[in-house]
Structure 1
Amino acid sequence: MLVLVACVLALLSPLVAGRWPASLLLNRWKWPLLIWATLIFQTLVLVLPMPHGLAAVLHVASYAAAIWFLWLNRHFPGVWFVGAGAFSNGVVIALNGGTLPASADAVARAGIDHGTEFANSAVLENPTLLWLGDVFAWPAPLPLANTFSVGDVLIVVGAVVAAWSGSRRIGARDEAPAEGQTESG
């Protein structure tokens, strides 16, 4: 939830400065429903009760679908950052049986208790590439206390780049000269 909220704030941030994230909204994204379906699917995998093995496979599959969407849209600003973050998280999740490893210290600082249910991120015995897992904490008692990874940071950076690339001042007229006119008039 923390990364999702950070991405939404990043995408809305140009509005605070009186700018409209025009290029983000006007891009002709390839297969836009794929990313929305992937996000809904990933949420369902994380909240619906299911066997751990099935949840792990479906969790990795959701990252594969997201990375496919990002590859199709790689020419848009910020997508390479989001793709690098998603790829990092996806690979580490795949190498750790469907769960992003978290450091015990970060989990303690965030005040998280995953219990025995399948979790997107959890403290694992003998994790692979822990340094790419959830090793940072947005600590309790702050709102949305949680852990996050290097990949999550890259995803948020990509959202900022996407939102601000080509943003325009709200109310500004298109500054491109009309066809057949020069910039001086």
Structure 2
Amino acid sequence: MTNVNKYYLIEDESKLEIPKYIDRPEYVRNKSMGYSLQIAGWFIFMWLFMPLLTMFFWWVEGKTIYQQMVIQAAPDSQLSLMNMIIMIAIFTGALLLWATYNWIRFYNRERRSTPLAIDERQLASSFKVNKTDILNMQQAKNLTLYYDNQGNLEFIGINHQLKKRISA
């Protein structure tokens, strides 16, 4: 008796008719064009088929909602369609009432003010450093401030950025 399910191994790969570019990436030269075509294809797919798919899902879910809310729901139950419409209207009205109250209360009224200007002495006392260090920090372009574990300024590093001139 012969075995019907014999597996044959193909030893000559030329009989498989595999395109040359599958295993040899040097044949793929213009990858950006391939990626651009792929993106264009996805945009065309979205533009053509997504509205149809969306309409299908709206139709299916619309039938389900109609079945649940109109046909199966009892008119006197808590989740009847009329009660839900009334609740949505009440919540929308409350939100509009709150927004109108806030608009009347805050329209053209600037409650924020600019902070008061302080001098170097006050700034130095808040950082717990002397006035000359504050002046040096204000004139530096690049600073590194080191703090201890309690949040007090421990050391000030003024970093000088050296720029090399490139001779052309």
Higher RCO (C-alpha under 8 Å, 6+ residues apart): 1
Which has the greater radius of gyration?
Answer: 2
Q: Per the shorter chain, which TM-score range?
A: under 0.3
TM-score (norm 2): 0.19
